[in-house]
């Protein structure tokens, strides 16, 4: 323990480091958590700017402002940046900040590994973004980078893309090893696994998912590298390879990956809903088992992304039924959140508003997911805007809203200052209205047959697309307000009190109440644990 605490202080004998070197060499979990969060916020605006280019091009039919080639680069890099540069680093930032505090540890178990896992990320995205300025241009083959498009017909910069993905994967693996080690070895005395806060549980399970699937992604991009530079034919049919093999490998990584992006969200939302309902989460242990079930099932459903490749009917049936099975533990979680709110003393501060929106809109995304799981129906939906609508409902009002909820919830803890509640609610309503304006109409154009990833479209889709683009620009604008709120909070927000959410933590416990350990955002006192 003492070694960990000492490593938080600067190793040099000249007092604490100043300026940039403090951040470069820091081993403090709070500093590293903050760097992850700021990094993901910067990437949100870069990836968001790319989405704005896409929506500006699609504002009306015909070719507007960018070439089809540049449009494809925007689609590819928007997806990669939002998944690997925004959602995942933000959740790792939350993990770094909150896990040690929630389990009563002085820091993360491996502080220097923690530092390294962050600092290689800006390098990875620097490499990815630098491809825009190279001969041949940035990757243009979609964020799923299907071979042979990404091997036979890709720009020469694909090699930099592969290197970049390797570095991102290494960062994830190191972060996960650190999280698992911390949770298993550094819990306060008396804090058994089933007394851990749900956010800690959600990350514990997510970290195992990351360690399991990141090497699979590394394998896929390494095989691409071999096909491009070393004459192998993993994915080249002419040489005896199989392009569908790429899809199997990619989605064996890609499907657990989408759960990696939502499980920590479940943890965050569970904390917020119980706080603003003034009662402990309903069905704590079933929540833990539900998260674990979702994680396990995520490994056996990958080919539901591939119903149209021509698999045997037995395969289609297996992937169809196993996908629908995931709806059960997810339904348990939604039921538990609603039951927690039922008859609670609810108040609707900004974090709670985002959390309630999360539950409602994530459910819409889940229901369209069940539609996509129906194999014969998927033949109609596949590669249309319906799919885009589905996964954006899960990832924007899902993952992103939970991050915004968590940021508002813990900003007073992180900064010591209170954010502006009026501005926070304004941000929520702008985001809520615009996110639905953006993604709901996509269901309609998708069902009507509008293909995704195409910069032009036929006249009958024009009205809906105009609405979607207006919604997208409004949503982008709303996030600038969020940036303003955070900076205002950090610089001159009013001082946060010990009881930030009035009365939320201080609800009365009777003798018969279950132990309330998992309801607190900070570690329980030794007295509580002994009791």
pLDDT in tens, the chain (531 residues): 444 444 444 444 455 678 899 999 999 999 999 999 999 999 999 999 999 999 999 999 999 899 999 999 999 999 999 999 999 999 999 999 999 999 999 999 999 999 999 999 999 999 999 999 999 999 999 999 999 999 999 999 999 999 999 999 999 999 999 999 999 999 999 999 999 999 999 999 999 999 999 999 999 999 999 999 999 999 999 999 999 999 999 999 999 999 999 999 999 999 999 999 999 999 999 999 999 999 999 999 999 999 999 999 999 999 999 999 999 999 999 999 999 999 999 999 999 999 999 999 999 999 999 999 999 999 999 999 999 999 999 999 999 999 999 999 999 999 999 999 999 999 999 999 999 999 999 999 999 999 999 999 999 999 999 999 999 999 999 999 999 999 999 999 999 988 888 755 444 433 333 444 444 444 444 455 444
Whole-angstrom distance, CA of residue 246 vs CA of residue 261: 22
Whole-angstrom distance, CA of residue 263 vs CA of residue 314: 30
Whether 330 is a known active-site residue: answer yes
Whole-angstrom distance, CA of residue 330 vs CA of residue 265: 13
| Residue tagged active-site, from 413, 425, 452, 505 | 452
| Residue tagged active-site, from 279, 305, 427, 443 | 305
| Residue tagged active-site, from 23, 38, 143, 146 | 143
Whether 333 is a known active-site residue: answer yes
Whether 284 is a known active-site residue: answer no
| Residue tagged active-site, from 255, 279, 392, 518 | 255
SS3 state at 495: strand
| Residue tagged active-site, from 55, 195, 333, 518 | 333
Whole-angstrom distance, CA of residue 107 vs CA of residue 100: 5
451-462 burial code (b ≥16 CB/10 A, e <16): ebeebebeeebb
Whole-angstrom distance, CA of residue 322 vs CA of residue 302: 10
C-alpha dist (Å) from residue 416 to 273, 394, 428? 22, 32, 22
Whether 271 is a known active-site residue: answer no
261, 88 Cβ separation under 8 angstroms: yes
| Residue tagged active-site, from 29, 55, 78, 443 | 78
| Residue tagged active-site, from 34, 117, 172, 350 | 172
Q: Which of 363, 349, 351, 361 is nearest to 272 (CA)?
A: 351
| Residue tagged active-site, from 270, 298, 323, 431 | 270
Neighbours of 122 (CB within 10 A): 15
362, 397 Cβ separation under 8 angstroms: yes
| Residue tagged active-site, from 257, 274, 349, 378 | 257
| Residue tagged active-site, from 151, 157, 330, 469 | 330
Whether 14 is a known active-site residue: answer no
Whether 257 is a known active-site residue: answer yes
Whether 339 is a known active-site residue: answer no
Question: What is the pLDDT, as a whole number, of residue 436?
Answer: 98
Whether 171 is a known active-site residue: answer yes
Q: Which of 172, 192, 168 is nearest to 80 (CA)?
A: 168
Whole-angstrom distance, CA of residue 366 vs CA of residue 325: 12
Whether 107 is a known active-site residue: answer yes
Phi-psi sector, 416: left (phi>0), alpha (psi -120 to 50), beta: left
235, 242 Cβ separation under 8 angstroms: yes
Whole-angstrom distance, CA of residue 390 vs CA of residue 308: 18
* Angle (CA) 249 258 177, round 5°: 80
C-alpha dist (Å) from residue 241 to 147, 221, 223, 224? 11, 15, 11, 12
Question: What is the pLDDT, as a whole number, of residue 16?
Answer: 64
Phi-psi sector, 145: left (phi>0), alpha (psi -120 to 50), beta: left
Whether 259 is a known active-site residue: answer yes
Whether 501 is a known active-site residue: answer no
Question: What is the pLDDT, as a whole number, of residue 497?
Answer: 86
Q: What DSSP designation does 397 have?
A: I
Whether 172 is a known active-site residue: answer yes
| Residue tagged active-site, from 55, 195, 279, 304 | 304
How many helices (H) and strands (E) in the chain? 20, 0
Give the chain's domains with CATH numbers.
2-530 (1.20.210.10)
Whether 419 is a known active-site residue: answer no
| Residue tagged active-site, from 26, 34, 71, 107 | 107
- Token reading at 106: 């002085």
Whole-angstrom distance, CA of residue 476 vs CA of residue 178: 34
| Residue tagged active-site, from 259, 337, 457, 464 | 259
| Residue tagged active-site, from 171, 298, 340, 350 | 171
Q: Which of 528, 508, 502, 344 is nearest to 412 (CA)?
A: 502
Whole-angstrom distance, CA of residue 473 vs CA of residue 496: 33
Whole-angstrom distance, CA of residue 522 vs CA of residue 171: 27
ω before 148 within 30° of 0 (cis)? yes
291, 263 Cβ separation under 8 angstroms: yes
HEC-encoded secondary structure of 178-216: HHHHHHHHCCCCCCCHHHCCHHHHHHHHHHHHHHHHHHH
Question: What is the pLDDT, as a whole number, of residue 504?
Answer: 54
What does the chain come to in residues? 531
Whole-angstrom distance, CA of residue 144 vs CA of residue 253: 11
Question: What is the pLDDT, as a whole number, of residue 459?
Answer: 96
383-399 burial code (b ≥16 CB/10 A, e <16): ebbbbbbbbbbbbbbbb
* Angle (CA) 193 411 92, round 5°: 50
Whether 143 is a known active-site residue: answer yes
């Amino acid at each position: 323990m003492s070694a960990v605490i000492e490593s938080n202080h600067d190793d040099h004998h000249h007092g604490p480091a100043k300026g940039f070197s403090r951040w470069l060499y820091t081993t403090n979990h709070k500093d590293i958590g903050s760097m992850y969060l700021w990094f993901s916020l910067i990437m949100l605006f870069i990836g968001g700017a790319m989405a704005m280019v896409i929506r500006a091009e699609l504002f009306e039919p015909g070719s507007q402002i960018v070439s089809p080639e540049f449009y494809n680069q925007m689609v590819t890099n928007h997806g990669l940046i939002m998944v690997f540069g925004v959602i995942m680093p933000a959740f790792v930032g939350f993990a770094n900040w909150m896990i040690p505090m929630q389990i009563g540890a002085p820091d993360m178990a491996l502080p220097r590994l923690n530092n390294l896992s962050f600092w290689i990320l800006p390098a990875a995205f620097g490499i990815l973004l630098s491809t825009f300025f190279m001969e041949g241009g940035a990757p243009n083959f979609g964020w799923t980078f299907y071979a042979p498009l990404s091997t036979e017909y890709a720009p020469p910069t694909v090699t930099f893309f592969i290197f970049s993905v390797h570095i991102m994967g290494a960062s994830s693996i190191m972060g996960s090893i650190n999280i698992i080690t911390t949770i298993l070895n550094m819990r306060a005395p008396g804090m058994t696994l089933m007394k851990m806060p749900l956010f800690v549980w959600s990350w514990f399970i997510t970290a195992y998912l990351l360690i399991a699937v990141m090497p699979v992604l590394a394998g896929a991009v390494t095989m691409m590298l071999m096909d491009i530079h070393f004459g192998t034919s993993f994915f080249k049919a002419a040489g005896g390879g199989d392009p569908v093999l790429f899809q199997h490998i990619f989605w064996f990584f890609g499907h657990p990956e989408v759960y990696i992006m939502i499980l920590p969200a479940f943890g965050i939302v569970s904390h917020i809903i119980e706080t603003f309902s003034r009662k402990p989460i309903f069905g704590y242990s079933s929540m833990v088992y539900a998260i674990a079930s979702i994680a396990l099932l995520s490994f056996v459903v990958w080919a539901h992304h591939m119903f149209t490749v021509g698999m045997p009917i037995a395969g289609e049936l297996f992937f169809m039924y196993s996908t629908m099975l995931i709806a059960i533990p997810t339904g348990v979680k939604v039921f538990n959140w609603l039951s927690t709110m039922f008859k609670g003393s609810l108040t609707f501060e900004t974090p709670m508003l985002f959390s309630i929106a999360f539950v409602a809109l994530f459910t819409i995304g889940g229901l369209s997911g069940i539609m996509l799981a129906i194999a014969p129906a998927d033949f109609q939906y596949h590669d249309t805007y319906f799919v885009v609508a589905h996964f954006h409902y899960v990832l924007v009002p899902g993952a992103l809203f939970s991050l915004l909820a968590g940021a508002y919830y813990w900003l007073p803890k992180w900064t010591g200052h209170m954010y502006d509640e009026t501005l926070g609610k304004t941000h929520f309503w702008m985001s809520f209205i615009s996110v639905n304006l953006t993604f709901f109409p996509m269901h309609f154009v998708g069902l009507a047959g509008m293909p995704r990833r195409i910069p032009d479209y036929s006249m009958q889709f024009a009205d809906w697309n105009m609405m979607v683009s207006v919604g997208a620009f409004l949503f982008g604008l709303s996030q600038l307000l969020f940036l303003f709120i955070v900076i205002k909070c950090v610089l001159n927000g009013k001082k946060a009190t010990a009881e930030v959410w009035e009365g939320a933590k201080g609800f009365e416990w009777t003798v018969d109440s279950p132990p309330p350990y998992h309801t607190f955002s900070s570690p329980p006192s030794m007295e509580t644990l002994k009791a």
